[in-house]
Amino acid sequence: MARHVHIVSVGTSILANLSAKGFTLSGGAALKDIASFEDRGERLLADATARTNAAERLVAEDSLSAELTALARYAGSKEVDQVFLIATRTRASQCCVRLLIEALRRRGIEAQEGVSFEGYDEGEGDDPLQRFADDLQVLRAKTLELVRRQVALGHHVRIAAQGGYKPETGIMMLVAAEAGVTAYYSHESMRTAVELPVLLYKGSMDGVRALSGEPGRRVAGRRCADLLARFPELAPDGDADRAHVVAYKRDPSTAQAVEVRLTGYGRYLAEQA
């Protein structure tokens, strides 16, 4: 059975937001008073009571985590079955991974660490910049292997190019383009995730032309169902959807598309056809 699988890069927004909210460890120490993020992560990992409290806060408040904020768009339409978390092996990142796994499992979502990598530490080794570049290449290869394995199982895969180092989010977008899957991102100022245009559309233009001829370049209701049946490349998870040629309005109770329209990219393609 096809499942909705999300590959999510993880940063340290949880530690930052818990600190800003005045979160305390079980002994009463305020997280914000611990000097470094690495030490905050280490102390929180070692404090089982505080870790449980933090996970409960995450279950109640998506806004404490950039990763949960991004996932919320899909969780609301029951399109999150399993999550693989991608993170560096730093103590701060591993703490955030642990908290996310606990919070997601409490919500009934399978969650586990997917791929980890060293990250950047200028204090180690003779050439840390080259080692960082090499490790990013390993991250790319391992994540691409993970995505392709999930796709081969017939699952619907999306990648959240969300947390971590900026080069790490770039790698996530590159993997999405290589694997032909959707990438998305949620900035802290956004209320929901946006899907990123990582793929060029190379499919049939018949459906794009047909939709372009409709008033407002959109159709709804029964005509939407008829159009998607005639042109399967326009259907959700089809080539046009993954390349952001079309966008949908969905029935909140069934998650079925009840309206389809051309995006700005779709209108551009129609004008060039």
Per-residue pLDDT tens digits for 147-203:
999 999 999 999 999 877 778 888 999 999 999 898 998 876 667 788 887 888 888
pTM (predicted TM-score)? 0.81
User: What integer is the mean pLDDT of 89-113?
Assistant: 93
17-74, pLDDT tens digit by residue?
999 999 999 988 999 999 899 999 999 999 999 999 999 999 999 889 999 999 998 9
Q: Any residues with CB less than 8 A from the CB of 182 and at least 6 apart, and which?
A: 157, 158, 159, 176, 195, 198, 241, 242
Residues of the chain with CATH 3.40.50.10770: 4-196
Give the architecture-level CATH label for domain 206-272. Answer: Orthogonal Bundle (1.10)
Half-sphere exposure of 188 (CA within 13 A, CB side): 9
Rounded Cα gap, residues 45 and 196, in angstroms:
33
- Cβ atoms of 91 and 97 closer than 8 Å: no
Residues of the chain with CATH 1.10.10.10: 206-272
- Cβ atoms of 84 and 6 closer than 8 Å: yes
Say yes or no: domain 4-196 is CATH 3.40.309.10. Answer: no
Q: What is the pLDDT of residue 153?
A: 95
